Chains A and B, each alone.
Chain A
Amino acid sequence: MKKSNSLTVPLRIAVISLVVCGLLFPGVVTGIAQLAMPVQANGSLISFHNTTIGSSLIAQDFNYSGFFQPRNDSASGLDPDITVQNATVQAARIHNVTGIPMAYLEGIIKENTKYTLFFFGSTYVNVLDLNLILAQHFPLIYNRYIV
């Protein structure tokens, strides 16, 4: 029986693997993704007044104390969410700075609350979601702070 040549076979199989697994596979997946799911494939970007202002998946900095602010100690450093408890504490500050009624702030927190285990677990909110709502509904307060 003819034996596989032990010197050239590993080299040739390695190069074939490189092409199939390292180039074709990610290339084809990218092609399908860009055609079929361009929004997700490009990082779930979101717009405000027709301008892209970032990704809903990634925390962005907010300095003005009238905005909800993300946490900066998390594992990835990009955590876009804060706990409801944290949001509620921040709501008091935002109320003091902007005069937006506490009931309204608590209302939008409640409407945007998500659960870590679907219907159970701890509760959290997306910081950018809340700030977009504020910027949209209170242009007189926020317009000079936003793009």
Chain B
Amino acid sequence: MITASAAFIIVLELGSVVVGGWFLSSYLLSVYSTRKTRLDRIFGPIERSIYYLGGVNPYEEMGWKAYLRAILALNVVEAAIGFVILLIQGSLPLNPMHAPDMSWSLSLNTALSFSSNTDLQHYNGGTALSYLSQMAVIQFLQFTSAATGLCVAIAIFRGLTGKTKGLGNFYVDYTRTIVRVLVPLSGVAALILIFLGVPQSLSGYSVFKTLELGGSEVVKSGPIASLVSIMQLGTNGGGYFGANAANPLTNPSQITNLFELALMMLIPTSLPFLFGRMLGRMKEGRTLIVASYALYIIDIFIAFIPITQIGEGMEVRFGAASSVFWTVTTTAFTTGSVNASLSAFNPLIILAALFGMIIQATPGGIGVGAMYMLMYIIMTVFIVGLMAGRTPEYLGTKINAGDVKLAIVAFLSHPVIILVPTVITFAIGAQAAVGLGTNSISFTQILYEYTSAAANNGSDFLGSAGNTVYFNVSTGIVMWLGRFIPIAVMLAIAGSMVQRKRYASEALRTDTLTFTAVLVVAIFILAVLTFFPFLAIGPILSYLEGFKNGF
């Protein structure tokens, strides 16, 4: 049940984000074109020094293979740096609380997790990480993975719009994303968060005698606001503390709660508009934004079917409605930060969360959400083309059999890397090591773990209990496959389309609301039916068994 006041807040939030995203898309257009702007005077020298120090030739145009090679090379090096820092953090500076070195499997998991924009956390950041790791591993990879995601979307947009020779230059796109988009926006967001009460310091944890005689408490202050800003803006989701955005130091009030939600929604919402602008046909962008928001709103409705009351696992200052709203949004935008414990929720809310991570385009994570929506469009155009007996076309180019095969590889990789490890886990009894049995509740938790890993979401039930070699390594592999298989495949499609001939007349119009409706239904059927048997013995069974929560 959704109350009128909660509905009002949700509508207000969605409305502001869509307006904000529309304005941002205009700025993003200038960032990713060679057009000169007034901001070049500020950002130009910084970018040129990065190209100089990095040895980048900014005029080199990359095809899809070169673009992908650059993405992979940079991400491997960045993940490796993170891995090494975590492994030896105990003997590195900026460690006033003396956090010990991380084990190899947990370091590996954490490095793969943050470099893939997942932010699954099998550790508790308040005790397990040094200040240096919070900054030079966690915040560093949150910036770079968000930048990578945004670059992927831009390269694919260029491929589909077909106005350039190649897909651009990855290092230029990446540098401009960091310098012109992520650092300025995160900087402003961090200062707003600090103003609203989120700490930002480097002077260690403070211990105080509390009001009552004999009591004491630790205030775990640290570089929190700078982390929270990029964690939300970059749809990363990995919190400073284990309790993530439920912890009052990362999310002190309802105002910060709504602000952080808006941050995670902003860039994914702006990308469909940017696509329309790059094409010069806003209506094609409208198809993407309407379809993704329609799926998101369906998700919200499912989550609000059960009556949720404030209780165990939720924070009083947010109330029940915005805890549910957050849980849907953080999975719909594959961010994965949480403001309540997932175990507090009705199985139907968990089902709604799983929908977001299964579809990945509702609107999905930074950059990749738009990428998945384009994948669904290619598949839908093909299906509709078959039904109408016409050659499938999108944006005036023919969609050939090769494109559709590739899109299906990207689509099917998702269920494969979720369902296979879920089944293996139960086959070898690995769930027992984290205290789970074989009932529907336990099954949901393991299914959720791999779905969250594959969708690069990062919310989970296991938390630091998942710190076993088996879960660290298996989810680590799933996170990187879930990240880079679809990216590689979609770049290949974009690369083959960039130089393809464009026709003036289009057989099937993709800028109409009719097509958008067909697209939504197609996505629902494709994605949800693939997973239906697994959902049926997980959250749906729990719901039918009458569980209210208690995961």
Interface size on B, residues (CB 8 A): 90
Q: Do residues B319 and A29 form an inter-chain contact, with CB atoms below 8 A? A: no
Instruction: Report the minimal beta-carbon distance from B119 to chain A, rounded to whole angstroms.
Output: 15
Q: Do residues A116 and B322 form an inter-chain contact, with CB atoms below 8 A? A: yes
Q: Do residues B243 and A81 form an inter-chain contact, with CB atoms below 8 A? A: no
A32 at the B interface (CB under 8 A): yes
Q: Do residues A14 and B211 form an inter-chain contact, with CB atoms below 8 A? A: no
Interface size on A, residues (CB 8 A): 78
Q: Do residues B191 and A29 form an inter-chain contact, with CB atoms below 8 A? A: yes
B60 at the A interface (CB under 8 A): yes
Q: How many Å lie between the Cα of A3 and that of B143 in the bound state?
A: 26
Q: Which residues of A contact B219 (CB under 8 A)?
A: 43, 45, 54-55, 58
Q: Do residues B178 and A20 form an inter-chain contact, with CB atoms below 8 A? A: yes
Q: Which residues of A contact B136 (CB under 8 A)?
A: 18, 22-23
Q: Which residues of B contact A71 (CB under 8 A)?
A: 316
Q: How many Å lie between the Cα of A146 and that of B8 in the bound state?
A: 44
B288 at the A interface (CB under 8 A): no
* Neighbour of A18 across the interface among B55, B60, B140, CB < 8 A: B140
A100 at the B interface (CB under 8 A): no
Q: Do residues A30 and B226 form an inter-chain contact, with CB atoms below 8 A? A: yes
* Neighbour of B211 across the interface among A20, A41, A54, CB < 8 A: A54
Q: Do residues B187 and A147 form an inter-chain contact, with CB atoms below 8 A? A: no
Q: Do residues B183 and A25 form an inter-chain contact, with CB atoms below 8 A? A: yes
Q: Which residues of A contact B206 (CB under 8 A)?
A: 42-43, 45
* Neighbour of A64 across the interface among B59, B212, B223, CB < 8 A: B212
Chain A residue nearest to B50 (CB atoms) is A16
A24-74 residues at the B interface, CB under 8 angstroms: 25-26, 28-30, 32-34, 37, 40-45, 48, 51-55, 57-58, 60-64, 67, 71, 73-74
Q: Which residues of A contact B315 (CB under 8 A)?
A: 74-76, 79, 81
Q: Do residues A37 and B194 form an inter-chain contact, with CB atoms below 8 A? A: yes
* Neighbour of A57 across the interface among B9, B195, B197, CB < 8 A: B197
Q: How many Å lie between the Cα of A1 and that of B58 in the bound state?
A: 11
B401 at the A interface (CB under 8 A): no
Q: Do residues A117 and B321 form an inter-chain contact, with CB atoms below 8 A? A: yes
Q: Do residues B55 and A9 form an inter-chain contact, with CB atoms below 8 A? A: yes
* Neighbour of B137 across the interface among A6, A22, A30, A122, CB < 8 A: A22
Q: Do residues A43 and B249 form an inter-chain contact, with CB atoms below 8 A? A: yes
Q: Which residues of A contact B137 (CB under 8 A)?
A: 22
* Neighbour of A40 across the interface among B195, B254, B344, CB < 8 A: B195
Q: Which residues of B contact A44 (CB under 8 A)?
A: 197, 199, 252
Q: How many Å lie between the Cα of A34 and that of B194 in the bound state?
A: 10
Instruction: Report the minimal beta-carbon distance from A42 to chain B, rounded to whole angstroms.
Output: 5
Instruction: Report the minimal beta-carbon distance from B158 to chain A, rounded to whole angstroms.
Output: 18
B186-232 residues at the A interface, CB under 8 angstroms: 186-187, 190-191, 194-203, 206, 208-213, 215, 217, 219, 221, 223, 225-227, 230
| A-B interface, 8 closest residue pairs, ranked by CB to CB distance from nearest | A116-B319, A22-B140, A120-B5, A75-B246, A21-B143, A22-B136, A76-B243, A33-B200
User: Contacts A10-B74, A76-B241 given; 11 further ones with Cβ under 8 A?
Assistant: A30-B226, A40-B199, A45-B208, A54-B217, A55-B217, A58-B249, A77-B243, A79-B316, A118-B254, A120-B8, A121-B3
Q: Which residues of B contact A (CB under 8 A)?
A: 3, 5-6, 8-9, 50, 53-57, 59-60, 69-70, 73-74, 76-78, 81, 135-137, 139-140, 142-144, 171, 174-175, 178, 182-183, 186-187, 190-191, 194-203, 206, 208-213, 215, 217, 219, 221, 223, 225-227, 230, 241, 243, 246-249, 252, 254, 310, 312-322, 338-341, 344
9 residue pairs of the A-B complex, CB under 8 angstroms, read A10-B70, A10-B73, A17-B143, A40-B197, A41-B199, A74-B313, A74-B314, A121-B3, A146-B211
